[in-house]
Structure 1
């Protein structure tokens, strides 16, 4: 069991280092983008100054209307309607007529023959997050929501532009296909938290440390595999040079004590062979 666990840990660490080199969504509505020496962190669902709910609308939904088409959406969560709920002839895939819009995160209503027909365009965890412009990550991010149905595969793309002054929009709605829509809003949550990953001379040291740790992990893994499968060693003794690793704390303690004596000089109770003696 021990070699198997170590192999799993090694593979997990290797995958983590590999994925850090590219832009990856860390979880729903959180995104990390590495650009050279700068790490851009977007956590649009987390509380920020003056916006304790992050990107979430305090009304429970955002609403935008254009050309007799209305879209309701809530980024990072399902919608909640305490006022102005959608009135649709058909809303079975998003809560039904009595709870229309309450079981999805994006809904579009189109006027057909005097009736509003609703279609879900964002449902559940089907959310993708990416930066709008990789050459200029300060612009903001784009959140895409999807929904698959018997008639259409629908989507909604919401561009969250960085704006430190407050929330603006959404005001415009664009139809990109049979059931694909796009809109935008300005929000402080679209501004990234920037971390200088190689600043202050730490970059080369971090790289060297990672290389040393990877080499050490490879050495341990190779030694464990060899001793386990070829030498038949079991238990904790499967770790190569176990006696050396166990003795490291004692050696480190002795080294530290030696250095302390060297820099502090002889203690009061210490007397060299040349010390004077009072008779």
Structure 2
């Protein structure tokens, strides 16, 4: 009877497992699909700030963690660009208290400001949870300073400071280095220089490859190892003929100091005969 019940319940079990796998696949697919920096909602939308965010596109979808060990309190901070930091909905930066434990949202990527320079980007997340006693109980704010460093793709997140000893405008400062915010190095070579470099490179490949082919495959010796030797010799001869034709095509004028002698005034000398010298 138990075997029969198991057999009856198997199809339902397979159906349940299949539905769970399908749901998991859909959730996994949703996590993979990302609209990039477009998930960040700018407080005051402007094309300039959107371009600044696009410079940070390589950092999307990554959690950056930092430990704050400077104070007596032990906190862990998690930052994510235009994504849920540590899985907290709409949180760009969170603070995790290990002792309690407790998670505090410092700033949300749904309230973003982006300021950029030539080699840096300042990302500001506002609308965080309110302070309990500090800063006149205003909302928390996170500032992430991302600087240029060509030697690393992205560095570790560092905790700068928490400025909360005032009445208003308090903030958390974080520092991060990335190569994506570095300015593009423009090539100083002109178009003519690039063409010459390409031309000399092709010429070197032609000479070296042709020399090796003539020597190894054909078995040529001496100057015949030069690639297409007969063609270049003929080309040189044709070039010389062309130069001679262009440069020496006009007839030269005879110098007045040297004039030819007229042959009409010359008298024919009598032919000397030496028959009488022969022995009779």
User: TM-score per shorter chain, which class?
Assistant: 0.3 to 0.5
- Using the size of structure 1 for normalisation, the TM-score is 0.39
Largest Rg, 1 or 2 = 2
- Using the size of structure 2 for normalisation, the TM-score is 0.39
- Structure showing the higher strand proportion among its residues: 1
